[in-house]
Structure 1
Amino acid sequence: MLRIINAALNEELFFKIVGRYLTVVEVDVVYVKPFKTNPIVIAPGQTTNAIFSADKKSGRYIMIASPFMDS
């Protein structure tokens, strides 16, 4: 299980693990009906708990966080 926190001040973030779906089980200390997604969008100050299958060797996962940008 991962606890993902957006500590950015003014930006929503996209978070993903390449090649994996994340099952979200909690958002801002409230349990939710589990759902699978990739990526997760996290608002400033928001927390999320997500579960994923870790069946590769240690150090073989690519995690990406990028800011939401519109023009």
Structure 2
Amino acid sequence: MATTDTISVPEIHCGHCKASIEGALQPVAGVTSAEVDVESTSVTVTYDESVVTRDTLVSTIEEQGYEVPR
């Protein structure tokens, strides 16, 4: 079953941030879509909870060098 979650990433501020985060999340198994909104500094991810967890998504964002408040 698909879940859509919005993850706050306050350090997002430009197109490079958008490309970096979307590029890291989209190939993750179970992720259907990942869209960064630079203006709201958030990432909206649709994913299959039976394949990938929110913690994995957060870790993937953090591996790109962005801090995710928990």
In the superposition, the TM-score normalised over structure 2's length comes to 0.35
Higher strand share: 1
In the superposition, the TM-score normalised over structure 1's length comes to 0.35
